[in-house]
Amino acid sequence: MGNQHDAEDKLMESFCDAFRAIGQYEYKSTFGAWLKRIVINNCITTLKKKRLDINELTDSIARIPTEENPLDTQSNRYTVQTIKVSINLLPDGYREILSLYLLEGYDHLEISEILGISVGTSKSQYSRAKKKLRALLTHDTNG
């Protein structure tokens, strides 16, 4: 959600929604998974309302780690705080897709349905988000 206050508001709203809809819970998944889906859907709906268009990556990225050209071991050591800060610096669209795929475990088909975008857009934005995140982390450790 971008900040703790908004996240807490959405969480409270989601608990209220879940309580009101408890009769619709069908035991097809765990209660936690059902509740998590409500929370995520509420957050995404809110973000969509104030969302900017998904940004195109225009930055030139000097050094992206690959299997053939990995970063040295020292630069692969990031703190959780550094990663959180870097993720928060990503454009909204990148951060949404990266979070849904990498942190929440949704696949690209599910993300496309949640966000109302194509599977290809989800994949390309995820790829760009990873590149941008690598660039931010590399800049942070080298700067």
Instruction: Give the per-residue pLDDT at 62.
Output: 38
**Which two three-digit tokens encode residue 77?**
């050591």
Domain boundary assignment for the chain:
1-50, 62-143
CA distances in angstroms from 4 to 11, 24, 46, 56, 119, listed in the order given: 10, 29, 14, 27, 30
Spatial contact of 108 and 122, defined as CB atoms under 8 Å apart: yes
What's at 44, amino acid-wise? I
CATH class as words, domain 62-143: mainly alpha
Q: Which residue has the tokens 């000097």?
A: 62
pLDDT tens track, the chain, 143 positions:
777 888 889 889 999 999 999 998 888 888 888 888 888 888 887 776 665 434 333 333 334 455 554 544 444 567 777 888 888 888 888 888 888 888 778 888 888 888 888 999 999 999 999 999 988 888 755 54
How many residues can be counted in the chain? 143
